[in-house]
Structure 1
Amino acid sequence: MSPFSGCYRLDSEWPSATPRLLGAQRDVTAGSRVFEMGPVQLAAAATGTSRDGGSLLAVHGRIDNAHDLAASLTPDGLPRHDASLLLAMIRHRGPDELARCRGAFALAFRDEGNGRLLLAADPLGRRTVFHARIGGLLVFSSRLRTLLALPGLPHDLDDGYLAALLSDVVPEPDATLYAAIRRVPAASTMTVGADGTLAVHRYWQPDWGRRIRHARDETYVEEARALLDQAVARQLRGPGPVVCELSAGLDSGAVAATAARLRAPATIHALTLAPPDDAPRFNHPTIISDERPGAAAVAALHPNMVWEAVSPRGLRAFDHDPRHVFLTMSGPARNVMNIGWFAFLMDRARTLGARAVLGGTLGNMTLSWNGHSGLATMARRGDWTRLWREASALGRATGQSTAAVLRRRALKPLLPARLQSRLDDYRGLPRPAAERFGAIHPDFARDTAINERRLEMGHDYPGCTETMRRRWLGRIQTLPPFLDPIGELYGVELRDPTADLDLLEFCFAVPDEQYMRGGTNRWLARRVLADRLPPDVLNETRRGFQCPEFLHRMTLQRDRIVEEVEALDRSALASRVLDVARMKRLAADWPTDAASTNFGEYGATLYRGLHVARFLRWIEGGNG
């Protein structure tokens, strides 16, 4: 479905600027037309809207379980157009019915009966509605870029959000990079009253107290397999060949292998990103720097899977000039290094005729949850026998003493993050990586109290399972919606079955002991995937590492990086926000050993910091 945008009149008459604003919205939302109902004017594609009497609804995105929802609403059970389906659901059962929707969507609903405007975001916030006030209007859009194109809307940055972006800290749920623009929080509806009052209501959240209990371990495996099959099947719908991103890990392997099973004997394509053989790359005993062997082993199990490796050679245009990224994403990108890296895989997918690429981005937080936080949960609930048994087994598997495992995994996570931080400092332990490897200026960090927020939110400090799940969900729900910008950058849509809400709710309710048993982490995923992945992948304990040749890619740009970092002093905004002195030191002391150069200092502090600096100079009027 296409994006939508609109105006809500807060005064008795439409301001004189309204036609100009709607014109700007229509320019950005190509192919749309204007619908009007009372104080609402809505620019949207006709295929993404539905009208029924005194009601009007526009939707941007897709509903993955539309057939099931339609069956519960209509006697014949025939699926409806997504917009008409959502309109019927909300009119007859209320907006809380959105909790039954699976997919990534944003919507605007106007009901003449109650005189209010309702805006909504999907449960994970992968699509949402942005809003701002211009004079006597509330303007809103499912694309941030549309609002930024409106005349009269300030583009001043929100310092707190910018600090959170630079520090990998979760921002406020309704915040954006721009002080004048807010967003509807994930899993929420926002009602706009006739007087302009905004009321936010959360329509979905996990049942944190729910626990699934089965007498047999195998029952958990059977349920998880059925839900994984359902999640992948939902994402296979649509035209074009099936193309999957395939690494040597459990998550993308789970998606690609399941897609192959569901589509057999029809062909599916699997693509693996791998560093060029002649490119120096980072190596460490705990990571996989070349995922081709594992991916090839997965493909060998599925005769209908056509597999190939893609090696990113050279640089892309937006590696040199990121303005297209800024325009598409309405700001800087957090994982800017990977944007250029993944472009090569997306190019190949597009050549194959794909409209979408399937991956497993959120699998680590759902199906392949590692289970380590379960030890703290066992300690919290006083399950001492199980705790001792699992801590002992994990100690044997990792070469640690049982006491060390208990101290690190069971007892420390029960302390508040502030106390954990003080204990780490007392023992001389390093701060979390996100705190050590950031380009934020210390004064800017202090002025925005970002380190206090980090500790308040508990970032990067261990906790019990519920605590870690809540933190993870909050992080995902506040990320800038990326599906549409990524699709526009690459010309191919990204889909992630491991983010399916039915699978997520099941995984959140599975007991801790199903995720770790006898010193084996990710125990649930390893059993669930035993019928579709090879033993070498199932038993792998190392983690994949995206863009292991990051230093090589940076070295190709070294001269320009050094030149631009040296010029940052001329930008008042960049000098205030970024630790320019640290970035200069890193640029001057360029490493030569790619194998031992970790991502932190150069990939995160220098490269990501320079990307943000380019954005700041660009909006400041520099040459970016």
Structure 2
Amino acid sequence: MLGRYLILIDWNEEALPRRQAFVQERTGLRYCTRIGQGIIWTSAPDLVLPLPDGSGAVIGTLFPRHGPAFPITMEDKPWQEEMRTGAVLPTLRDRYWGGYILHTEREGMMEIARDPGGAMPCYFLQMPTGWAVSSDVDLLVEAGLLKRAIAWDQIPRYLIAKDLPNSATAIEGLHELLPGTSVLLKAGEQEVTRFWSPWDHVREAEQWDSKAAAERLRRTIDHCVASWASTSSAILSTLSGGLDSSIVTAGLSKAGTPFQCVTLVTENRNGDERDYARAMASSVGAPLLEGFYDHGDIDFSRSVARHFPKPIGQIHEVAYHALVMRLARDCGADAVHTGNGGDNIFYNSSSVRPFFDCIHARGIGGEAFATLRNIAKVTETSLPTAAWEALRAIPLMRRPYNWVRNGEAIADDVMADLQAKPLRHPWLDEQLRSRPGKSGQIAFLLRVQNHLEGYLREHGMPMVNPLMSQPVVEAALAIPTWKMLEGGRDRAIARRAYHDRLPPLVRDRRRKGSPSGFAMEVIERNHHEVRERLLDGELMRRKLLNGAAIEAALARGPAMGLSYVRLLTLLDMEAWIARWNGAGA
């Protein structure tokens, strides 16, 4: 379910009635609930689940961790009893999951908590006599609570680390509540605490059983897929034919909600995965839609991240989302489900880090040697080469995991200044030096956090990522990293979990397709406009970019290598800036 909400708490009682009328007129949010000194507006009446004692509410979609795969309602008696007898936030964390925020009030303060899975967005800002909290930044603008003002001091951070979540957004005065955290909002101050951490779910492997672990993972994924499916009447499942999207499709086949699959195709052979998608769709008896990327959907003035308060997109993704929306409307879907996040939680990496996790747990012996051999198979290299890479990595493994900065095309003085500033996140601050593989897996998990909100939100379409559900993430974190490589296959436990439910063509696939050919064509076909937008853009005017580096990348044309990814990111950022300056779409 796509939920929009706006919460206001104002300690000036006389101001609330005026704000209430103004907000309803400007935003179109029809459903209003009063709790203490706060008012909650939502886009649907069943988005608010009041706490039994009247102290607050859960806003969004909440599922039981155990039991039927359906959302909790006010009539659910076990829910009411648990909320009355236990501490609310720990009970939600341990007994429930979903896409929600928790809103409570006590002693003139408001506390907001965001679910660990991050499926429900949460932004907040301070008002003269209170606070505003919302699911999306446009609601805050529409309600007259937020001005369009870019926080230019934050833009360099997005240039070098756009995928590292941060509570500071790129809009002045606006903060994001990160997944698994809560914030206590008082008069004039805020206090953020963490109530969930991935490190709490990292397990030792003393009595490891791969078969049992695979079975637990399969049951967990199936339950989460079915739970999300229960909120829709017709689903469009994006299906590349890769492992992750195929697992979601396999789960949907058991969920009972009608669904169709869609695969997106490029003219470049590397982006044509129809053989795999057809095999998977056929195996579950689902209709398969096939759509081709269209260069006509590319609009360099329209950022794919335009509804986010942070520039995190790449301009070619506009075509992906435009095509998905056309097909979703054509088939009558009310939600789009994806396999996003699978590579992250299952740690689909070519790193030697799992080898060091294995040594810590098992010592130098047969299992460590087997892990090294599996790494060689996954990376399609020789065992001596893998051993040499592990040897070279020893100094790095003794240091904490550091987020890699992307300095490509950044002005030298800007990059020098950024190098002196640490890139931090609480999950990395808590890392265990003895678990470099788990540090890498958790860093992978961080990379998807900024993209969970859903790029289809502005179209009114829920974009559901079932593999990023809290129970699935926790189950994946409990799997030792070197066990993810069993048999020389990446994501080995996930493959084992669905071995009998995937066609051999998909299950045994070793290479993955990519729309990179289409993405490169976007630059090649629009070379002059790309050059003009980047070299005459706002980022250059503010002396944040290295113009010579951009010129050099463009001059290499088809031989530019991965520089095309950087150019697409910068193009989207320019469109995002224009939008938030009031000049763009």
Equivalent position of 2:286 in the other structure: 305
- Rounded Cα–Cα distance in structure 1 between residues aligned with 2:42 and 2:488: 54
Q: Retained in 2: the 8 A contact 1:192–1:199?
A: yes
Aligned counterpart in structure 1 of residue 575 of structure 2, from 614, 618, 623? 614
Aligned counterpart in structure 2 of residue 42 of structure 1, from 40, 43, 66? 40
Equivalent position of 1:65 in the other structure: 64
Q: Retained in 2: the 8 A contact 1:57–1:110?
A: yes
Q: Retained in 1: the 8 A contact 2:48–2:57?
A: yes
> Matches of residues 7-26 of structure 1 in structure 2 within 5 Å?
7-10=8-11, 13-14=12-13, 21-23=19-21, 25-26=23-24
> Matches of residues 209-608 of structure 1 in structure 2 within 5 Å?
209-211=202-204, 216-263=209-256, 268-276=259-267, 281=268, 288-302=270-284, 304-316=285-297, 319-322=299-302, 325=304, 327-367=306-346, 369=348, 373-381=353-361, 383-385=363-365, 386-392=367-373, 394-395=375-376, 400-409=381-390, 412=393, 415=396, 435=406, 438-449=408-419, 452-453=422-423, 464-477=436-449, 479=450, 482-483=453-454, 485-489=455-459, 491-568=460-537, 571=538, 574-587=541-554, 589=555, 591=557, 593=558, 598=561, 600-602=562-564, 604-608=565-569
Alpha-carbon shift at residue 92 of structure 1 (Å) = 4.0
Q: Retained in 1: the 8 A contact 2:295–2:319?
A: no
Alpha-carbon shift at residue 560 of structure 1 (Å) = 2.7
Query: Relative to 1, partners in 2 of residues 1:137 and 1:214: Cα closer, same or farther, differing over 3 Å?
Result: same
Gaps of 5+ in 2: none
Q: Retained in 2: the 8 A contact 1:167–1:435?
A: yes
Q: Retained in 2: the 8 A contact 1:394–1:518?
A: no
Q: Retained in 1: the 8 A contact 2:452–2:465?
A: no
- Rounded Cα–Cα distance in structure 2 between residues aligned with 1:84 and 1:337: 48
Equivalent position of 2:105 in the other structure: 110
- Rounded Cα–Cα distance in structure 2 between residues aligned with 1:30 and 1:67: 36
Deviations 1:228-285 (A, max 9, x none): 221221122134333211112110011112322444xx86421111113xxxx4x7xx
Q: Retained in 1: the 8 A contact 2:224–2:469?
A: yes
- Rounded Cα–Cα distance in structure 1 between residues aligned with 2:117 and 2:464: 13
Query: Relative to 1, partners in 2 of residues 1:340 and 1:467: Cα closer, same or farther, differing over 3 Å?
Result: same
Paired AA for residue 5 in structure 1: L
Paired AA for residue 470 in structure 1: I
Query: Relative to 1, partners in 2 of residues 1:64 and 1:152: Cα closer, same or farther, differing over 3 Å?
Result: closer
Deviations 1:426-453 (A, max 9, x none): xxxxx97x625x4443333333447742
- Rounded Cα–Cα distance in structure 1 between residues aligned with 2:9 and 2:227: 35
Residue 453 of structure 1 aligns to a residue whose secondary structure is: coil
Paired AA for residue 482 in structure 1: E
Equivalent position of 2:194 in the other structure: 202
Q: Retained in 1: the 8 A contact 2:235–2:260?
A: yes
Q: Retained in 1: the 8 A contact 2:300–2:572?
A: no
Alpha-carbon shift at residue 364 of structure 1 (Å) = 1.4
Equivalent position of 2:138 in the other structure: 145
Query: Relative to 1, partners in 2 of residues 1:435 and 1:82: Cα closer, same or farther, differing over 3 Å?
Result: farther
- Rounded Cα–Cα distance in structure 2 between residues aligned with 1:338 and 1:219: 39
Normalised by the length of structure 2, the TM-score is 0.84
- Rounded Cα–Cα distance in structure 1 between residues aligned with 2:188 and 2:425: 35
Q: Retained in 1: the 8 A contact 2:335–2:462?
A: yes
Alpha-carbon shift at residue 371 of structure 1 (Å) = 8.4
Q: CA RMSD in A?
A: 3.9
Residue 389 of structure 1 aligns to a residue whose secondary structure is: helix
Alpha-carbon shift at residue 322 of structure 1 (Å) = 0.8
Q: Retained in 2: the 8 A contact 1:573–1:616?
A: no
Query: Relative to 1, partners in 2 of residues 1:299 and 1:481: Cα closer, same or farther, differing over 3 Å?
Result: closer
Q: Retained in 2: the 8 A contact 1:48–1:83?
A: no
Paired AA for residue 576 in structure 1: K
Query: Relative to 1, partners in 2 of residues 1:445 and 1:91: Cα closer, same or farther, differing over 3 Å?
Result: farther
- Rounded Cα–Cα distance in structure 2 between residues aligned with 1:420 and 1:384: 23
Query: Relative to 1, partners in 2 of residues 1:447 and 1:85: Cα closer, same or farther, differing over 3 Å?
Result: farther
Residue 106 of structure 1 aligns to a residue whose secondary structure is: strand
Alpha-carbon shift at residue 24 of structure 1 (Å) = 5.0
Deviations 1:136-189 (A, max 9, x none): 222222222223345474544334542232223555642211241112221122
Q: Retained in 1: the 8 A contact 2:169–2:310?
A: no
- Rounded Cα–Cα distance in structure 2 between residues aligned with 1:85 and 1:32: 30
The number of residues matched between the two structures is 575
Q: Which moved more, 1:347-356 or 1:397-406?
A: 397-406
Query: Relative to 1, partners in 2 of residues 1:65 and 1:125: Cα closer, same or farther, differing over 3 Å?
Result: same
Deviations 1:408-439 (A, max 9, x none): 24761662697999xxxxxxxxx97x625x44
Query: Relative to 1, partners in 2 of residues 1:577 and 1:105: Cα closer, same or farther, differing over 3 Å?
Result: farther
Paired AA for residue 499 in structure 1: M
- Rounded Cα–Cα distance in structure 2 between residues aligned with 1:227 and 1:38: 37
Alpha-carbon shift at residue 123 of structure 1 (Å) = 0.4
Normalised by the length of structure 1, the TM-score is 0.80
Matched, 1:158 2:151: yes
Residue 309 of structure 1 aligns to a residue whose secondary structure is: strand
- Rounded Cα–Cα distance in structure 2 between residues aligned with 1:532 and 1:407: 38
- Rounded Cα–Cα distance in structure 2 between residues aligned with 1:252 and 1:397: 20
Alpha-carbon shift at residue 41 of structure 1 (Å) = 3.5
Q: Which moved more, 1:334-343 or 1:447-456?
A: 447-456
Aligned counterpart in structure 2 of residue 98 of structure 1, from 71, 89, 92? 92
Residue 575 of structure 2 aligns to a residue whose secondary structure is: helix
Q: Retained in 1: the 8 A contact 2:158–2:311?
A: no
Q: Percent identity?
A: 18
Residue 486 of structure 2 aligns to a residue whose secondary structure is: coil
- Rounded Cα–Cα distance in structure 1 between residues aligned with 2:421 and 2:517: 29
